[in-house]
Amino acid sequence: MIRFLLLGILRDRSRSLFPLIVIIVGVALTVILQTWLSGMLDNMIQSSANFMTGHSKITTRAYAAEAQQMPNDLALLGADSLIAAAAGEFPEMIWTPRIRFGGLLDLPDSSGETRAQGPVFGTAVDLFNPASPEPKLLNLEQALVRGRLPQFPGEILISEDFSRKLGIEPGDTATLLSVTMYGSMAWYNFTIAGTIRFGVVAMDRGAMIADIHDIRKALDMEDAAGEILGFFRDFQYNQTRAGEIAADFNRHYSDPDDEFSPLMKTLREQNNLASLIDVLSWALGGIITIFLLVMFIVLWNAGLMGSLRRYGEIGVRLAIGEDRGHLYRSMLYESVILGILGSLLGTALGLAVSYYLQHQGIDIGSLIKNSSMMFSSVLRARITPLSYIIGFLPGVLATVLGTAVSGIGIYKRQTSQLFKELET
């Protein structure tokens, strides 16, 4: 019987083509919306982790309380030994030191006088260690615009927008004016190796990337680090495991009575990200739910319309003696087959578009020029396991329910009226 119904659907386009198109479009839109919104949330979490928070972060307790001010006078001492200890106890994570700092970047002219200067937001990372994850985390090769990546001590990268603003070219010498760990003035000469653009507006305004060993010399921070960031080796954030690791670390290393003792926080515990992630998750879940309801109603109506258009056919089948129950069940079977076919094709179409958006993305940089959030200007979709099945809920269930409701009319048709209906 299934084969008979399937052949009828394929051969009679007048009764199957329109419902099938509606299902395909509805399911595809559902899949695209789900992957797009998942990508937006993942974008925010990944950008925050790579540039600011890590999946976990170790600082002193005093530094954590004033982290937005980049208080390097409250930095961790003995950072290398602490990293070795953390790596030994939590091998599923990669640990890397960073120093965040602010200052002025001064560009001298040929006579040594200031030609241009501007404020920089600096990040010192381990650039030259082959085992360091930093070039990958910061995506330096893809972010490079002009020049080259640093290859020797004393070389730095600055943001392309900042370099254009000050007229800085790769190969120029610039002086960093900042403050040491102990509060005295610091100045240190660097060579501009290249310029970068991260696609994160907050970073592209005045970013400076330097090797951590150079900044330790410049700011008197030997064997010190403002922050030690931890990342899961697959670079996918796991809140449950991150929380367990943080609790275990703090139980052994952190002393509430010592403001310079190390303290580990998870990504959610930093920069008010917990409330932001929760709000966005609820909002995105609500949007998807509303959209699913809309698609549910649309496809339900499509099922109703398909059944109503076959009013005459149903009358003929009843008039020649087909059992009402058999007719009703056959219509339900048809709707199930249509729903599954449409959902499969719609899911395939939605995943194809989502795959393109996942790899290419859409640049919205012109719309967020003044944003201060750690949010990539290139929005990408993210295909998850849910993406493969979410379209079947409205695609199959709504179609079957629409047919089921409209098919109730079969039992209300009076045999005595059938021939009069057919005559008209």
Say if residue 298's pLDDT is above 50.
yes
Identify the pLDDT of residue 116: 83
pTM for this entry:
0.71
- And the tokens for 5? 């119904």
Question: By the 8 A CB rule, do 119 and 104 touch?
Answer: yes
Say if residue 393's pLDDT is above 60.
yes
What's the Rg (C-alpha) of the chain? Answer: 31
Identify the pLDDT of residue 192: 93
Identify the pLDDT of residue 138: 86
CA–CA gap between residue 293 and residue 107 (Å, rounded): 59
Helix (H) or strand (E) holding 141: helix 140-143
Say if residue 82's pLDDT is above 90.
yes
- And the tokens for 110? 């040929």
Q: At what angle do helices 273-309 and 399-407 cross, to 10 degrees?
A: 40
Residue 235 backbone phi and psi in degrees, to 5: 60, 25
Question: By the 8 A CB rule, do 39 and 188 touch?
Answer: no
Choose between 51 and 158: higher pLDDT.
Answer: 158
10 Å CB burial of residue 75 (0-12, 13-18, 19+) is buried
Of 305, 311, 332, the residue nearest 418 (C-alpha):
311
Identify the pLDDT of residue 245: 94
Say if residue 270's pLDDT is above 70.
yes
Is the four-CA dihedral 372, 226, 239, 91 of positive or negative sign?
positive
- And the tokens for 396? 């199959």
Say if residue 300's pLDDT is above 70.
no
Choose between 59 and 416: higher pLDDT.
Answer: 59
Say if residue 364's pLDDT is above 60.
no
pLDDT tens figures, 137-166: 888 888 889 999 999 999 999 998 888 888
Question: By the 8 A CB rule, do 346 and 422 touch?
Answer: no
10 Å CB burial of residue 148 (0-12, 13-18, 19+) is exposed
Contacts of 126 (CB under 8 A, 6+ apart): 96, 97, 132, 134, 211, 212
Domain map of the chain by residue range? 2-47+275-423, 56-236
Question: By the 8 A CB rule, do 214 and 99 touch?
Answer: no
pLDDT tens figures, 109-136: 777 778 888 898 899 999 998 888 898 8
CA–CA gap between residue 62 and residue 159 (Å, rounded): 30
3-state secondary structure of 344: helix
The average pLDDT across 182-198 equals 90
Is the four-CA dihedral 319, 324, 328, 331 of positive or negative sign?
negative
Confidence of residue 372 (pLDDT cuts 50, 70, 90): very low
